[in-house]
Structure 1
Amino acid sequence: MSDADIISAMRRKAGVGRPPPDVQPMSPAKALRLAAAKAAEDAIGLVMQVTNVIEERSSILRLPDQLPEYALLSLLEGPDNAYGLAVFDRNVISAVVEQQTTGKVLKLPPEERAPTATDAVMCTEITDHILSLFETNIAEVADPPDVAGFRVAAQLREARSISIAFDDVPYRVYRISVSLGRGVREGEILLVFPFARATPKPVPGAPNDFGRDFQAVVMKSEARLDTVLHRIRMPLADVMSLEAGMVLSIPRSAVSKVELRADDRLVSRAQLGQINGKRAVRLIFMTEEDDDPLEAPYGSEAGGFGDMGALSGGSEFPALSNGLGDMGDLPSLGDLPAMGNIGDMDSMGDVPPMGDLPPLGDFPAMGDMSGEMGELPDLGDFPAMGDLPTFDD
């Protein structure tokens, strides 16, 4: 057996029974442990060991009650005018000051007093160093919290200043328990960051894009349009007697009088036609003077009387387009006799008296009037696809 084989066998025997090395993935707690120990050593030569890390979610109303007494409050300024907080309790403050003045952490208990501006200046370097290393270490986490870019900006004298400087949003609090000077003293550090990056505040006088963004959202919303070919009015009794298979007549003029409605309001008029083998409607320009047919009185377009057009020259009756024939032969208003030439009422003697008029019961029933309805178009006369006008693509 060679020397290499003997050494390899000894190494295998030495490793029997030992657990594999415990390599923990990066986490906020691990990142803070590494950052605090290295920052204290590099900045001022202080031995600082993190014993516990607790992550909490807090609000601006609860933060003042979570701070220790006689603590140093350092305001942290981050990107987009976001603010955080670094808190050193009095044990940490005294350890940092003593390390820089005497070179070691004293065993005497710290003095109970409010931190001074000198204390804040002496703690600024180690605070920024912890934040910088924490920012670098936390980047290795799969979904890192947003803690980048925060540095010490000023000292807060009182805890009530937090509600003035901070926005009313949720905050992420890291409560760090530390051992100082090789176990000489125990202390606590709090790091507070916004739980989520706040929206930048608008600058006074800067252009506001709210209107444009709101319009873009509204224009993408869906709108329902209903196409109304024709409207028919009938007594309620006839409506109640409607049955499946009954036929309601629609005039040909309805093809050019289509209504386009949204939420039962008239949007535009249209003409029925076809394009690419499918039925389509072509919009017709409307003016503000156009009346809504739903609000028109009985006997207007909504009643199906046809397009009355405009009076020709102010005296001629227009031709009706509902199948009643050409009315163009009627005399103009100027040819009618004046009221003074009508004469007396004696000329009406040829009108039969009321007694000679037939009673209502002698009128023909609805079933006998089928021969009289021959002049009206039946359903088969409604234009088919081939008879509709074709729109240009």
Structure 2
Amino acid sequence: MTDEQVHTAMRRKAEAGRPASDGSPLTAERAITQAVSKVAQDMFALPVQTLSIKESRRTLADLPEALEPLSLIAIIEGPDEGLGIIALPPETLSVLIEVQTMGNLAKTAPPARKPTRIDASMVVEYLDAVLSLIEESLVETEAVVWAGGFRYASYLDDPRPLGLLLEDMGYRMWQLELGFGAGAERTGKLLWAVPVNGRGQNLRRMPGAAEGEAGGQKTPAQEEAEWHARMENSVLSATATIDSVLHRVTLPLSQIMQLRPGVSLPIPEDALENLTLEGVGRRRLASARLGQHRGMRAVRISEEEASVVELETGAPKVRRVVPQPFESGESPFAGMEMNSGMPGPLDRIDSPAYDPQPGAEGLGGFGNLDEASGLGGLGDLGGLGGFDQPEGDLGGLGGLGGLGGLSDEEDLPPLKIGNLG
């Protein structure tokens, strides 16, 4: 790089962002016009005049319609992988090639031809210098957010792949009509398109920041301005995802595992008229209907619903648990047969239910009383009564009031309880 080029670059950086010499503020239109002309003069000694400049908004679908046939389409990449384009029609491309190969311009433009990779490599330096100068000129303005940070990435000779390369969003498009030469002997055009919502918030430099840094400290006004700028950039750079839900289908896992390309899912006929706009966590924002805009799918909001605001009170929040409704269900014993061998009723003392063992007669559940055990442990049985006894059988019961007494010498004979009825 020669001394003259170094001096020119330093001068451009020193003058970046300053108002024009006539006192008018530096706008994006003025910055683009000056960059295109100044870089051509510095690099190729080529006088360039901007005959007209126009700004417009285009969608991705409309962008190829603004390109002239056989244009060299330079793909430019900006902050956060944002992409844009610079299109050079055949007339402009031929001028840039001629001044680099022959050193001057022919009187007439050559026939239009399809651009090649060599053509793209010969204009890369010029395009990057123009983009750099635009960024330096707008570094202290809001326009640097969408205009700054772009550089050459690749090229196309056909506009059809643009729909796959660029993001589906709105684009800010500048169309310039240029005159080349001292008397504008040759004319051409230039198209520059970048995303409308730029991503170069970090590129902006606050006015007076350079002077404050050189002095070693910043004034309170500068610090406050920088704080507001950082807050604004943080808020504006935040993303908000909104989903347009046409319909939701619930399917069992067995059917989901059978999904294949070409399988149709059931959708109600009124789903096109009843779309739902949802935010994070399926929060319902508004209702909409499906339509189209300039050949692209679009939704029209038909209703806006206010968010429900819950007022916090001083009382502690109590989690209420609602029990599930009780259902008795079917009895587990339904249909079972009764056991035919079930013991009889218990209303009689001689019922076999008390002692189903064979040979157990009389007292059933009391078991058998052998002669050796006697009735010593029965205590006072005065209230039993009703024993049908033979003569002398209960003569020695003594302390069993109501049953007669037994003498001390007599032993208790075997107890016969044949009839307790």
Name the TM-score class by shorter chain.
0.3 to 0.5
TM superposition score normalised by structure 2: 0.44
Q: Which has the higher contact order (CA 8 A, sep 6+)?
A: 1
Larger Rg over CA atoms: 2
TM superposition score normalised by structure 1: 0.47
Q: Which structure dedicates a bigger proportion of its chain to helix? A: 1
